[in-house]
Amino acid sequence: MTYQVIIPAAGQGKRMGAGKNKLLLELNHIPVIIHTLRVFEEDELCEGIILAIHPQDEEEFKSLLEKYQIKKVLALVPGGKERQDSIYYALKAVKSDGIILVHDAARPFILKKHIHRLLDTAQITGAAIIGVPAKDTMKTVRDHMVMATVERSSLWAVQTPQAFHFSLLYRAYEKAVKDCYIGTDDSSLVERISHPVTMVEGDYDNIKLTTQEDLFFAEAIVKKRQGSF
């Protein structure tokens, strides 16, 4: 079973404070966006990539796709104001009714074995997401006062990719648009239309590059994978 993947890359990277889209920063001399795209380029089960980009990055992204020989990009779509808007526009460019994955361009360390584990589950259940069990003790806090300690065994940190039957995800997005609902991930939109979502265990290296300190962790993960750490 194959899949297509939507990669939202149209953010501005404001929290990274690099003065440009964080996806253009380099890790091991290769731009972050290329690290992410290569995982899918090299996955034999990936049929195609729909990439949402900010119009101001269009020329640079196009030349990077050329330079690094990324051939699976089926469409480059202009992103929107929010991540959810970018994915909605990308969904409209999908021309297949199979499994669709959504994966943040800012998570360059996703492994093929985890993509395939997610895919296998989504084929059966229609909706699956990847995440890891919470390691820290978690509490709810209001005005700096602890309200409660949440039972940790039921808490998972959610990552991407998230995988769905295309028609299910599209229906979830249409409903969110109709209700003016903005969720923090794709699964939350599917949960709202009462479809069960299965959690698949991934790994802690699949970080999202958000702030400057994440770049230090990222360098460490690169070294670990090169076997030089």
Q: Which residues bind ligand CTP (CB under 6 A)?
A: 8-15, 52, 79-83, 86, 104-106, 208, 210
Residue closer to ligand CTP (CB basis): 46 or 90: 90
C-beta of 39 vs 105, nearer to Mg ion: 105
* Nearest distance, CB of residue 55 and ligand CTP, angstroms: 12
**Measured from the CB of residue 34, what is the shortest distance to Mg ion in angstroms?**
20
* Residue 99, helix vs strand vs coil: strand
Token pair belonging to 84:
């959810």
Structure tokens at 224: 């670990």
* Nearest residue to ligand CTP on Cβ basis: 11
By beta-carbon proximity to ligand CTP, the closer residue of 10 and 119 is 10
3 to 42, contacts with Mg ion by CB under 5 A?
11
Query: For 118, how many CA atoms within 13 A lie in the half-sphere containing its CB?
Result: 33
Count of residues that bind Mg ion according to CB under 5 A: 1
CB of 11 or CB of 31, closer to Mg ion? 11
Which residue lies nearest Mg ion, judged by its C-beta? 11
Beta partners for 138? Answer: 150
| Residue closer to ligand CTP, measured from CB, 15 or 152 | 15
Task: Report the DSSP pairing between strands 30-31 and 26-27.
Answer: antiparallel
Q: How far is the CB of 194 from ligand CTP (least distance, A)?
A: 26
- Rounded to whole angstroms, the Cα distance separating 9 from 179 reads 25
Residues contacting 226, CB < 8 A, separation 6+:
28
The answer to whether 38 touches 107, Cβ cutoff 8 Å, is no
CB of 214 to Mg ion, least distance (A): 13
Pairing of the two strands 156-165 and 127-133: antiparallel
From the list ligand CTP, Mg ion, none, pick the one residue 14 interacts with, judged by a Cβ distance below 5 to 8 Å according to partner type.
ligand CTP
Q: How far is the CB of 83 from Mg ion (least distance, A)?
A: 6
User: Which of ligand CTP, Mg ion, none does 15 bind, CB closer than 5 to 8 A by kind?
Assistant: ligand CTP
Q: Which does 98 bind (CB under 5 to 8 A by kind): Mg ion, ligand CTP, none?
A: none
Q: How far is the CB of 64 from ligand CTP (least distance, A)?
A: 14
Q: Which is nearer to ligand CTP, 23 or 126 (CB)?
A: 23
Long-range contacts of 110-116 (CB under 8 A, 24+ apart): 110/36, 110/39, 110/160, 110/161, 110/202, 110/206, 111/39, 111/202, 111/203, 111/206, 112/39, 112/42, 112/43, 114/200, 114/202, 114/203, 114/206, 115/39, 115/43, 115/45, 115/161, 116/45
